[in-house]
Every structure is written in structure tokens, then in C-alpha cells.
Homo-oligomer: A and B are copies of this chain.
């Protein structure tokens, strides 16, 4: 199985087979069991380039910590540099530069397809740390791994996926990720303007994943094992009044989750702003801080499998 990861690009969660993800999760288990508190030297002498054209503190720092815990060095842009690159030279030349300087490139960009384009230019492996509105494969890996840790399996559970399902890349990647497993049912909960795109629904149909679109979490809360929450941004609404009208319905409160099953777990890719009430944070339902703890070990596993070959 190791050879399937060796020097591989990671562009979309859909590029992965179920057994590949399971191998990644088992590797992550090993890291959490035995290595997370030590500095491993598996990637000594390697250089990881973090090319964040769109800022993301959590994702950037978690890759940086993962790389450093493995002994690798990290290079990255300053804010001003990423801005001036965006305005100046063509992206291909920037990718060539990073390909020249590093052993692996982690890229994040506002625009769809940039990670794939970078992977075509670079000889070194490229990891997509989020681009466009669909793909954030390492976040999906973290989210799936979290479910597996909380429930022992990803299959057979009922999921509510809440928020901006149209433009939110974490939500879309999670849906894509679930389609690789056998969930019992997905409830796709969003306002009209932020419905899941047709191509995603097509994929669910093709893969025989049961789903239903909903406007309200209240209607399904008692059926859910997992409620995956993402933010609804005001700017997405053509009519601001429409945003004001619906925003309350997509806020997760203590009252809401208490109407759920006892086993219900609330996930969120973070950062959250006010889409989850603070009163939920300290409850048994909140799993997003646990989820956040898997960012580093999942990314460590991925870096080891891609760069380190058979050394673990």
C-alpha cells in the first residue's frame, strides 16, 4: 500500500480509494499512539514549501508543525510576498521556483484548479491545502478520521451537513469523502441560495449514497449521529435581507443539540465565528476541538507516506 502514496499529489479527496484512506488512518493511529510527543527524524533534510496565496492560519500552522515534528524544514511566503507574486510574475514561474527549492509543495489558492495546475508543472509532489469551492482533501481526511475515532467507523452513520454547501470547500470535500464510504444517509441542510451543486448530487447518486436536502436542522436533528457545521457568509447572498431572514435557522445552539440523540457529535472544520453558540463548546456534543487535534497527526502521516517511503 505504501507505494500508492509515494511521491503522490494530493489534489482531491476523490482521488483516493477507501483502502488508501484506511491505510492513512492506521498510520495516523500509530503516530498518535507512539510518536506525537517526540520529534521524529523521518524527514530530516527535507524542505516543505508552504505556498498560501489565500491566508489560513490553522491549516498553514498545522502543516508547519507536522513538517517540523518530522524533522523537515519549512519555507513560506510573507503576506506581502504572496500578494506581490499574485500581481507580478506568472504562477507557473512561481511553482517552478518552489519546485526548485523544496521537496514538496503545499498550496492554497482562492481559485479552482490551481493545485492541479501546480501539480502538472512541479516535479515534486503537491498537496492541495484548499482551492476553489470544492477541494480541501486534507481537511476531509481529518474529518473522516475524527468520525472513525468517535464512532469506530464511518459507515452506517447518519450525517447532517449544515451551512454553505455551494461555495464551502470543507463541506463539499467532506461530502465527497463520505461518498467513498457507506454512510446510512446524508442530510444536506442549507438555505436555497447555498444548495449543494448538481455535480455533487450526481456523484452521490452514482455512488448510491442516500441523501436528502433540507432547510432546517430542527427537522432532522433527532436522526443524526454527526452534525457537520460550516459558516454561512453574508457576502454569498445576493439579497442581504434574505441573509438576515435565514441566518437564525443555521445557528447551532444548546437547545438544538439537546434535541438530538445522546450520541450526537458536532463537527466543524474551524475557525468558527458565531455559527455555533458558545454554550455548545463545553457540552458533550462538541467534537470540534477533538477534531482540531487530528490536523497535525493526519498531515504527519501524509507527509511520511508521500516523502518518507517505508521508514515508519
Contacts and interface: CB of A to CB of B under 8 A. Distances in A.
Interface in A79-115: 79-81, 84-85, 88-90, 93-94, 96-97, 100-102
Interface in A176-222: none
A273 B89 contact: yes
Integer count of this chain's copies in the complex: 3
A140 to B, nearest CB: 19
The range of chain A's interface size is 35 or more
Given A79-B81, A84-B55, A93 B39 contact: no
Interface stretch (A61-69, A141-149, A239-247): A61-69
Task: Name A's interface SS.
Answer: helix
A165 B176 CA distance: 54
Interface string A256-289: 0000000000000011110000000000000001
Contacts of A89: 270-273
B73 A68 contact: yes
A75 B64 contact: yes
The interface centre, meaning the residue of A55, A78, A273, A296 with most chain B CB atoms within 10 A of its CB, is: A78
